[in-house]
């Protein structure tokens, strides 16, 4: 899906959504970005519409598929914006196809998987098998959103209700498939980034992101040649949904080389000039 920009200020942006999101679910976010650049949004090779993964599925496989999209649409060198699981794939595109990528912005990219990831998968699968979908919705919401009600997070109630509605609206078979696809990808040996990127790269998280907290993201930024780390106020792992216009502004500023210091909606925490 492509959004036209009448007066683009930066090179085209390829938006790579999270594993449980589709390009249609991020329409508002893509439209906000299209105020700054031609924006293309894609569904992932691991999106919920697929029944199974190819036998050779890996981050490199997914990166190759999206690299083909970049070449077919003649977008390159492109600016990549990857979110959550999509950030892992965006990272792999930049790593395996560096000539195609100008700059990279990565939201919610984890350096390590949670220690209890296997237990979480087992618990979620048991809830689905026993028909306790409402409990599964609460479990997912608690993992991706800030649980502390005393902290300010934009759109908390709306997004919590949206997560619950989406999960409870899926059939048992669909939920089993979703879990199997996500488990299949996270079990690949190349899921977690190891090598640093050479392109200018912006890592960003919500200030209350418990799934990919700042201290877990910083080691990835340190591996890259030219990296920035940005914390977005009043948000958590779902910052792109909670502060859509602010994230679009931050990304456009980074891609156009404008400063990220002293912005009202966040804080630049580290910078490594090229």
What's residue 56's pLDDT? 52
For residues 41-54, average pLDDT: 58
What's residue 44's pLDDT? 65
Q: What is the mean pLDDT of the chain?
A: 84
**66 and 38 share a domain?**
yes
220: number of Cβ within 10 Å: 25
Whichever domain contains 61, its CATH number is 3.40.50.1820
- Give the pLDDT band (50/70/90) at residue 25: low
As a whole number of angstroms, the distance between CA 172 and CA 130 comes to: 10
Q: Is the pLDDT of residue 245 over 50?
A: yes
Tokens of 215: 């201290």
**56 and 154 share a domain?**
no
**176 and 241 share a domain?**
no
Give the three-state DSSP class for 15: strand
- Give the pLDDT band (50/70/90) at residue 57: low
Domain count for the chain = 2
Q: Is the pLDDT of residue 46 over 90?
A: no
**207 and 266 share a domain?**
yes
Tokens of 129: 């098998």
18: number of Cβ within 10 Å: 24
The boundaries of the domain holding residue 98 are: 2-112+190-271
Which DSSP helix (H) or strand (E) runs through 206? strand 201-206
| Higher local confidence (pLDDT), 235 or 24 | 235
**153 and 177 share a domain?**
yes
- Give the pLDDT band (50/70/90) at residue 274: very low
Q: Is the pLDDT of residue 114 over 60?
A: yes
Q: Is the pLDDT of residue 60 over 80?
A: no
**133 and 200 share a domain?**
no
For residues 52-67, average pLDDT: 68
* Burial bucket for residue 99 (CB in 10 Å: 0-12, 13-18, 19+): exposed
**93 and 148 share a domain?**
no
Q: Is the pLDDT of residue 19 over 70?
A: no
**90 and 103 share a domain?**
yes
| Higher local confidence (pLDDT), 41 or 182 | 41
Percent above pLDDT 70 for the chain: 88
Q: What is the pLDDT of residues 80-102, one digit of tens each?
A: 999 988 898 899 899 889 999 99
């Amino acid at each position: 899906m492509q959004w036209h920009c009448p007066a683009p200020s930066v090179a085209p942006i390829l938006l790579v959504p999270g594993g449980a999101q589709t390009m249609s679910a991020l329409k508002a976010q893509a439209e906000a970005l299209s105020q700054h650049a031609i924006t293309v949004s894609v569904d992932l090779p691991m999106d919920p519409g697929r029944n199974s993964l190819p036998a050779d599925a890996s981050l490199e496989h997914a990166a190759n598929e999206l690299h083909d999209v970049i070449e077919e649409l003649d977008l390159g060198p492109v600016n990549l914006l990857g979110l959550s699981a999509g950030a892992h794939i965006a990272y792999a595109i930049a790593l395996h196809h560096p000539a195609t990528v100008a700059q990279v912005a990565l939201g919610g990219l984890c350096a390590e998987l949670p220690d209890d990831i296997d237990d979480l998968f087992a618990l979620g699968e048991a809830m689905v098998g026993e028909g306790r979908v409402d409990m599964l919705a609460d479990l997912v919401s608690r993992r991706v959103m800030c649980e502390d009600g005393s902290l300010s997070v934009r759109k908390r109630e709306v997004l919590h209700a949206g997560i619950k509605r989406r999960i409870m609206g899926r059939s048992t078979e669909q939920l089993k498939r979703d879990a199997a696809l996500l488990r299949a990808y996270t079990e690949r040996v190349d899921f977690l980034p190891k090598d640093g990127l050479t392109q200018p790269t912006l890592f960003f998280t919500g200030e209350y992101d418990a799934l990919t907290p700042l201290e877990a993201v910083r080691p990835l930024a340190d591996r890259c040649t030219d990296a920035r780390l940005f914390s977005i106020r009043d948000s958590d792992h779902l910052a792109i949904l909670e502060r859509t216009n602010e994230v679009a502004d931050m990304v456009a500023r980074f891609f156009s080389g404008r400063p990220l210091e002293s912005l009202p909606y966040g804080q630049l925490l580290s910078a490594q000039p090229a």
